[in-house]
Amino acid sequence: MKALGCDIGSLFSKAVVMDGDVLLAWKIMETTGNIAGEVDGLVEEVCREAGVSRHNLDGMVATGSGAEFLKDADFLEDEVACIGWAARCFLPEVDLVVDIGGQSITSMLLDPEGEVLDFMRNDKCASGSGRFLEVMAAAVGIPVERIDEEASRAAKRVPISSQCGVFVESEVITHVNNGESPQDIVAGLCDAVARIVTSQARRFGGGNRYTFTGGVARVRTVVDLVRERMEGDYQPFPLDPMLAAAVGAALLVEAS
């Protein structure tokens, strides 16, 4: 069964074509102005790579804040449900998923069947999110794709005490003015993100087995720092963690 899942977020849109639990093709595109047109092009491109026409798919499911922009989706699904279902299909023993996305962090508890029992999202503040890390790292001249490389060269992690993005920026500027290296600052930023993520995840009091999804789960430094603080057994998501919601959306076609 060939199905398409599309996760249309505020910063990036992701589309996948799945055949059962096999990923045939995927695309990630930055979300800009003409979202409907961009999503339509994204779907056409990922279908072309998968060697299937969108009209011959067994189903299409959209999720994310811009899900309604996929006009011919068979149905829309909540992003939390999609991520939970992806975790259930690939990591059935996981009971805690922490999604570190572009604008928010979402922790979700799963039952043995992959149903989301409860979740918590910090969507009131972008602190700890992908956008937060990207902007703060850019302030010291480090692009997001080099965060791991530069953090690995750090001699120390400069302390970032605030959990508010505005105050963190002020702290970063102070560290720059005090002569701290960009590497030490970005290592401190990764540690600050890990602290925020861990604090939220621990509030559930669960997570014997856990995984991370979302774009920040690509940043190995952050993942390792969270793992140092978390109890339980970490199980990495087997596909690109940024695709988790789109993958779950596609898998829900067969489940429905």
**Residue 118 sits in the same domain as residue 153:** yes
| Measured CA distances, 38 to 13, 78, 142 (Å) | 9, 21, 28
44, two tokens: 């056409």
- For the CA atoms of 228, 234, 238, 241, the dihedral, rounded to the nearest 10 degrees, stands at -50
**Residue 79 sits in the same domain as residue 161:** no
**Residue 137 sits in the same domain as residue 226:** yes
Here the CATH number for the domain that contains residue 150 is 3.30.420.40
Would you write out the chain's pLDDT as a tens digit for each of its 256 residues? Answer: 999 999 999 889 999 999 999 999 999 998 887 899 999 999 999 999 999 999 999 999 999 999 999 999 999 999 999 999 999 999 999 999 999 988 889 999 998 887 899 999 875 566 667 888 888 888 889 998 899 999 999 999 998 877 666 677 778 888 888 999 999 999 999 999 999 899 888 887 656 899 999 999 999 999 999 999 998 899 999 999 999 999 999 999 988 8
**Residue 115 sits in the same domain as residue 175:** yes
**Residue 202 sits in the same domain as residue 223:** yes
Residue 138 to residue 158: CA distance in whole angstroms? 16
- CB 88, CB 113: distance < 8 Å: yes
User: Which amino acid belongs to residue 10?
Assistant: S
- CB 232, CB 210: distance < 8 Å: yes
**Residue 85 sits in the same domain as residue 185:** no
**Residue 140 sits in the same domain as residue 210:** yes
**Residue 105 sits in the same domain as residue 77:** no
**Residue 131 sits in the same domain as residue 103:** yes
The helix/strand/coil state of 49 is: helix
The arrangement of strands across the sheet holding 75-76 comes to: 22-30, 12-19, 2-8, 59-63, 75-76
Q: Which of 16, 13, 14 lies closest to 3 in space, CA to CA?
A: 16
**Residue 58 sits in the same domain as residue 24:** yes
Domain of 20 in residue numbering reads as 1-91+238-256
DSSP 198-249: HHHHHTT---SEEEEESGGGG-HHHHHHHHHH--SEE---SS-GGGHHHHHH
Number of structural domains found in the chain = 2
Residue 25 to residue 53: CA distance in whole angstroms? 13
The helix/strand/coil state of 165 is: helix
- CB 252, CB 115: distance < 8 Å: no
**Residue 53 sits in the same domain as residue 157:** no
Q: What is the pTM of this model?
A: 0.92
**Residue 98 sits in the same domain as residue 202:** yes
- CB 105, CB 90: distance < 8 Å: no
Beta pairing class for 105-110 and 96-100: antiparallel
pLDDT, residue 123, reads 58
